[in-house]
Structure 1
Amino acid sequence: MTAAIEAAARAVDATTLTRLLPARPLLLALGEPAHGEDVLLELRNDVFRQLVEQGQYRTIALESDCMSGVLVDEYVTSGRGTLDEVMEHGFSHGFGEFAGNRELVRWMRAYNEGRPAAEWLHFAGYDGPVEYNGAASPREALTALHSYLRQGLEAALVPCDADTLDRLLGDDERWTSPAAMMDPGRSVGQTPEAGQLRLLADELVALLDARSSQLVEASSLDDWDRARMYGHTATGLLQYHFWMADSSPSRMPRLLGLRESMMADNLLALAERGPVLAHGHNGHLQRDKSSMRMGDQLLEWSSAGTLVSARLGERYALTSTLLGSIPRRGVDAPPPDTIEGVLYGLAQDRYVIDAGQLADMVADVPLVHRESPWYGYSPQDPTHLASSDAILFVREVPAS
């Protein structure tokens, strides 16, 4: 079996990767099993550069806050701000601290310099503004959408004024309190004010859609798309806060599913404008449902990849990345009865292989799901192999 896998393994580059796919995808997802590892970010950057050089993709989307990502896109397209500023304020989850992300943004800005707008590369975040310990206030998203509508339409058409929004929103600290994640009673998501905001947000989004031609003519399609992102973010955040205030057993799976739904909405909206390389955690981009145990309760929800794949079909392609070892994190050589252990036996340090072909090769091998001693690394579920299009394997993550 090792010899057969060795014969099917290929060097990692964009051309080899795309040849493994059934068709040229509109949304090409590149997953990772751990965040922030230099070798994985360098591989991603190399693949994106090659795709750009081949004229296939001009947009990259990262698992980072979609609203903060606007700052990065403005920098790489127009040079607004400085590299230090966008790395500090243009990323969520601490991703601006990763050297590979900094190099990506620097390279994109250098590439765009002096080129016409039609040839620019674009950056986007596709995550919602949520963290493991809470969620953002809907203020930024709601006020940005409201401001856009007020600038492009007659005031009488917009269902509220800025003062009304400000009054209903109140202090942002009420929305962002980490205590609300642990105690539903501390959340403001089901207050009368929050209920009014949900209705207003729905009306504002409906107005954005109904008056799209007028608004695009008064601004631009890019501006309208950005306003739609703010609208989806506002409604998503208000739903998220609603479920933060819920005390039923449905609370956590609904919160986890809402985040994935926000990711999927952003990815689908980006794909409407042209081919996108999306990079993020394997768990978000996988076609399979996600699950976790919380006490004696099994929580299940649809990942962003599940939702996007259902809409795009073969126009969505997934390359999942697997790791052998991360010595500095205490992740040693994988056991031989795991899929990582099987792949670890090959001589190459990194390679890509057709996922369906690999699944067939190991179909009769009794594999177990690898256990990780480090919370930041998620091994591959061997039963999910065939739901990827390609598998990228990295034998060892060297020290940074």
Structure 2
Amino acid sequence: MATDIKDIAHAVDAATVMKMLPPRPRVLALGEPTHGVDAPLDLRNDLFRQLVEQEGYRTIAIESDCLMGLVVDDYITSGTGTLDAVMEHGFSHEFGESAANRELVRWARAYNEGRRPSQWLRFAGFDGPLEITGPASPRQALTALHAYLSAQVDPDLLPCTAEMLDRLLGPDDRWTDPAAMMDPTASTGESAEAYELRLLADDLAALLGAQTPHLIAATSREDWYRARLYGRTAIGLLRYHFWMADTSPGRMTRLLGVRDQMMADNLLALAERGPVLVHAHNAHLQREKSSMRMWQQGLLEWWSVGSVVSAHLGEEYAFLAMGIGTMRHQGVDAPPPDTVEGLLYALPEDSCVVDAARLATALGDTRPALRVSPFFGYFPLDPAHLATVDGIVFVKDVPQS
């Protein structure tokens, strides 16, 4: 068995990856089993660079705030701002502190220098404006959408004025109270103002759709794409705030599902524009349902981003899961030899990529054990998912960043 696995483990490069996938997937997703370490991101950067240069991918999307990501995209396409400011204001979840993410942005800006707009590499966050402590106010998305429409359509078609939006939104801290994550009564998501804003957001998004031919001609397709992002984000945020205020047993499941649905909608919109490279946690990108154990909630299950996008795109969605061998600074030592990680850890390479279908064939009737991690932030590879993974990228040892 070990010989067979050694024969199907290859260097992580674009040519090898593309050979194991259907012809250039529209969405090619690379997962990671943990956040906050740079070694897997360095490998991601090398692979994504090759896929951009050799395979024509033109958008890189990562698991970060979609509105903040506009700051990064403006920088790499037009040089707006400074690299320091972009890393501070263009990422959520503290991803801007990563040296590997900084290098990705620096390279993307250098790649675009001297190229025509049609050749530009684009950057996107595809997560909602949702930090662990709670969602953002819908103000930025709603007011930007309203401003775009106000400048281009007959005022009589607008469902509200900017002043009305401002009054209904009120102070932003009423939306961002961190207590609402644990206490639904602290959320404003079921207030009369929130209900009215949900209707107005829907009307504004519908107006945007109905005026599509005029808006693209009067502004640009790029401005219209951005306005659609504002509309999706406003509706998703208001929906998320509604479930923050809910007291039913399904509250957390709905919150997790709303987040992944927002992410899926953003990825599908990006895929309309051309092939997309995606990086996020394995649990978001997998084709299986996601699951998590949370306080007093037991096991929660919801459909992952990958499952939704895969259902829409079929073979045009490809997923490479990532596994790691050790992360000793977090107490993750060498994996047991009877796990998927253990089998790959026995190989001499520091990193490799394996065709999941060929790995399953090499294993035959042998069913690897599920690795148990002592660190809650690391999610081991689930051997039951081998049949729904296109490939496994393995990093042998991950040092502290």
- Counterpart-to-counterpart distance in 2, 1:159 and 1:296: 40
Find the counterpart in structure 2 of residue 340 from structure 1: 341
Q: How does 1:25-174 map to 2 (within 5 A)?
A: 25-174=25-174
- Counterpart-to-counterpart distance in 2, 1:388 and 1:151: 46
* Structure 1: 5+ residue stretches without partners: none
- TM norm structure 2: 0.98
| TM-superposed deviation, 1:343 | 1.4
| TM-superposed deviation, 1:58 | 1.3
- Counterpart-to-counterpart distance in 2, 1:305 and 1:167: 38
- Counterpart-to-counterpart distance in 2, 1:380 and 1:279: 17
Runs of 4 or more, structure 1, over 6 Å off, are none
The answer to whether the 8 A contact 1:333-1:341 is kept is yes
1:274-315 CA distances to partner (integer Å, 9 max, x unpaired)? 001001111111110011233463311000000000000000
Find the counterpart in structure 1 of residue 373 from structure 2: 372
Question: 1:55 and 1:336, CA in 2 relative to 1: closer, same or farther beyond 3 A?
Answer: closer
Q: How does 1:272-311 map to 2 (within 5 A)?
A: 272-294=272-294, 295=296, 297-311=298-312
- Counterpart-to-counterpart distance in 1, 2:148 and 2:65: 20
The answer to whether the 8 A contact 2:338-2:368 is kept is yes
Query: Would you say 1:325 and 2:326 are equivalent positions?
Result: yes
- TM norm structure 1: 0.98
- Counterpart-to-counterpart distance in 2, 1:161 and 1:363: 65
| TM-superposed deviation, 1:361 | 2.5
| TM-superposed deviation, 1:55 | 4.3
Find the counterpart in structure 1 of residue 398 from structure 2: 397
Find the counterpart in structure 2 of residue 189 from structure 1: 189
- Counterpart-to-counterpart distance in 1, 2:298 and 2:373: 21
Code of the aligned partner of 2:54: Q
| TM-superposed deviation, 1:372 | 1.5
| TM-superposed deviation, 1:56 | 1.7
Find the counterpart in structure 1 of residue 24 from structure 2: 24
| TM-superposed deviation, 1:360 | 2.7
* Structure 2: 5+ residue stretches without partners: none
Task: Give the RMSD, CA atoms, in angstroms.
Answer: 1.1
- Counterpart-to-counterpart distance in 1, 2:345 and 2:368: 14
| TM-superposed deviation, 1:133 | 1.7
Find the counterpart in structure 1 of residue 244 from structure 2: 244
Code of the aligned partner of 1:320: A
- Counterpart-to-counterpart distance in 1, 2:206 and 2:118: 30
Find the counterpart in structure 1 of residue 206 from structure 2: 206
The answer to whether the 8 A contact 1:23-1:314 is kept is no
| TM-superposed deviation, 1:237 | 0.4
Find the counterpart in structure 1 of residue 12 from structure 2: 12
Query: Would you say 1:232 and 2:267 are equivalent positions?
Result: no
Query: More deviation in 109-118 or 281-290?
Result: 109-118
- Counterpart-to-counterpart distance in 2, 1:369 and 1:39: 23
- Counterpart-to-counterpart distance in 2, 1:244 and 1:296: 15
| TM-superposed deviation, 1:161 | 0.4
Code of the aligned partner of 2:122: H
SS at match of 1:30: strand
1:240-277 CA distances to partner (integer Å, 9 max, x unpaired)? 00000001111000000000000000000000000010
- Counterpart-to-counterpart distance in 2, 1:333 and 1:119: 44
Code of the aligned partner of 1:205: A
Code of the aligned partner of 2:114: G
Code of the aligned partner of 2:323: L
Question: 1:260 and 1:363, CA in 2 relative to 1: closer, same or farther beyond 3 A?
Answer: farther
- Counterpart-to-counterpart distance in 2, 1:182 and 1:398: 34
Question: 1:74 and 1:176, CA in 2 relative to 1: closer, same or farther beyond 3 A?
Answer: same
| TM-superposed deviation, 1:365 | 2.2
SS at match of 1:394: strand
- Counterpart-to-counterpart distance in 2, 1:111 and 1:289: 37
Code of the aligned partner of 1:81: G
The answer to whether the 8 A contact 2:22-2:316 is kept is no
Code of the aligned partner of 2:157: L
SS at match of 2:175: helix
The answer to whether the 8 A contact 2:58-2:276 is kept is yes
The answer to whether the 8 A contact 2:367-2:383 is kept is no
SS at match of 1:379: coil
Question: 1:368 and 1:296, CA in 2 relative to 1: closer, same or farther beyond 3 A?
Answer: farther
Find the counterpart in structure 2 of residue 313 from structure 1: 314
The answer to whether the 8 A contact 1:320-1:391 is kept is yes
Query: More deviation in 89-98 or 149-158?
Result: 149-158
